[in-house]
Amino acid sequence: MPRLATKIGALLFCPDCGTLLNLPQENEAEVKCEQCGHKEPASSYENIEIITRSHPDAFPSALAQKRKTQTKVHESDDALLRVTELCPQCGHTEAFSKEMQLRSADEGSTIFYTCVKCKFGWRVNN
Ligand SMILES: [Zn+2]
Ligand SMILES: [Zn+2]
């Protein structure tokens, strides 16, 4: 079974390399990761709409945890933060970041970075 993209808000990140995936073009069945060639079915994006529109509490524990641990950062849940972070690929110093709480608090959280310039994606485990 193929791995599906990591969903953060309305954004999809490549499950293999963490790169922010583009939105599918009209009539396109899948989206190809520019970084590693992973192919994400366009249906993944449809699932996002269902989750965000009719199930706002789809990830209640993750959000609750995030509010507890991230009081210093006040951004909306689906906004990407623009941070100063060195891109390992092109050396650019600006990247979008998004922290995602994994299954349980014990496992910590993962910060996803996507280079502003070359769109290279990587992740850092806390
Ligand atoms: Zn990829
Ligand atoms: Zn870069």
Q: Where are the domains of the chain?
A: 6-125
pLDDT for 75 equals: 45
Residue 49 structure tokens = 């709409």
Q: What is the pLDDT of residue 78?
A: 56
Q: What's residue 72's pLDDT?
A: 44
Q: How far is the CA of 19 from the centre of ligand 2 (A)?
A: 11
Query: Against a cut of 0.85, is the pTM above it?
Result: no
Residue 87 assigned ligand-binding role: yes
Residues whose Cβ atom is located within 5 A of ion ligand 2: 87, 89-90, 92, 115, 117-118, 120
Question: Cα–Cα distance between 75 and 99 in angstroms, integer?
Answer: 11
CB 89 within 8 A of CB 115: yes
CATH architecture of 6-125: Single Sheet (2.20)
Structure tokens at 2: 């193929």
The percentage of the chain sitting over the pLDDT mark of 70, rounded to a whole number, equals 68
Distance 37 CA to ligand 1 centre (A): 6
Mean pLDDT, residues 76-95: 85
Gyration radius from the chain CA atoms = 15
Question: Is 90 labelled as part of a ligand binding site?
Answer: yes
Strands (E), the chain: 6-8, 11-13, 30-32, 39-41, 81-84, 94-101, 109-115, 121-125
Give the least confident one: 26-30, 105-109, 111-115.
105-109
**Whole-number pLDDT of residue 109:** 82
The whole-angstrom separation of Cα 42 and Cα 48 is 11
pLDDT at position 35 is 92
